[in-house]
Amino acid sequence: MQLSLGPILYYWPRQSIETFYEQLADMPVSVVYLGETVCAKRRSLSAAEWIELARQLAANTDKQIVLSTLALIEAGSELSGVKKLCNNGELLIEANEMGAVHLLSGKKLPFVGGAGLNIYNAHTLTRLAALGLQRWVAPIEISHNALSAILSDAPALGLSEDVETEVFSFGRLPLAYSARCFTARYHNLPKDDCQYKCIDYPQGLPMDSQEGENFLTINGVQTQSGAITHLLPYWQEMEQLGVSLMRISPQPEGTTEIIQHYHQSIKGETKTVSTIEPYLSSPICDGYWCGEAGMIAVREVTA
Site for other proteins in 121-150 (CB under 8 A): 121-128, 131, 139-141, 145-146, 149-150
Nearest Cα residue to 34 out of 61, 67, 57: 67
Is the C-alpha dihedral spanning 92, 38, 244, 129 positive or negative? negative
169 binds other proteins (CB under 8 A): no
Q: Give the nearer residue to other proteins in terms of CB position, either 55 or 191.
A: 191
CB contact at 8 A, 250 and 8: yes
Residues 33-62 touching other proteins, rule: CB under 8 A, are: none
Residues 180-199 touching other proteins, rule: CB under 8 A, are: 180-182, 185-186, 190-192
Rounded least distance, CB 287 to other proteins, Å:
7
Is the C-alpha dihedral spanning 37, 42, 46, 49 positive or negative? negative
CA 251-68-165 angle, 5° bins: 85
215 binds other proteins (CB under 8 A): yes
Interacting span for other proteins (CB under 8 A) from 14-22, 72-80, 242-250, 269-277: 72-80
179 binds other proteins (CB under 8 A): yes
153 binds other proteins (CB under 8 A): yes
108 binds other proteins (CB under 8 A): no
- Tell me which H or E stretch contains 276: none
Q: d(Cα 107, Cα 246) in Å, to the nearest integer? A: 29
Options 32, 34, 54, 100; binder of other proteins; rule CB under 8 A: 100
Torsion of CA 278, 233, 160, 83, to 10 degrees: -20
Options 26, 49, 52, 74; binder of other proteins; rule CB under 8 A: 74
76 binds other proteins (CB under 8 A): yes
The size of the interface with other proteins (CB under 8 A), counted in residues, is 71
CB contact at 8 A, 139 and 128: no
Interacting span for other proteins (CB under 8 A) from 40-48, 51-59, 201-209, 273-281: 201-209
Rounded least distance, CB 190 to other proteins, Å:
5
Q: Give the nearer residue to other proteins in terms of CB position, either 76 or 268.
A: 76
Options 2, 110, 292, 299; binder of other proteins; rule CB under 8 A: 292
Rounded least distance, CB 114 to other proteins, Å:
11
294 binds other proteins (CB under 8 A): yes
Q: d(Cα 148, Cα 242) in Å, to the nearest integer? A: 9
218 binds other proteins (CB under 8 A): yes
103 binds other proteins (CB under 8 A): yes
Q: d(Cα 233, Cα 239) in Å, to the nearest integer? A: 12
Is the C-alpha dihedral spanning 116, 121, 123, 125 positive or negative? positive
CB contact at 8 A, 150 and 122: yes
Q: d(Cα 36, Cα 39) in Å, to the nearest integer? A: 7
Rounded least distance, CB 106 to other proteins, Å:
8
Other C-beta atoms lying within 10 Å of the C-beta of residue 176? 12
On the CB side of 272, CA atoms within 13 Å amount to 9
How far is residue 32 from each of residues 41, 100, 148, 279, measured CA to CA in Å?
23, 19, 25, 20
Q: Give the nearer residue to other proteins in terms of CB position, either 35 or 99.
A: 99
Q: Give the nearer residue to other proteins in terms of CB position, either 21 or 289.
A: 289
9 binds other proteins (CB under 8 A): no
Residues 246-285 touching other proteins, rule: CB under 8 A, are: none
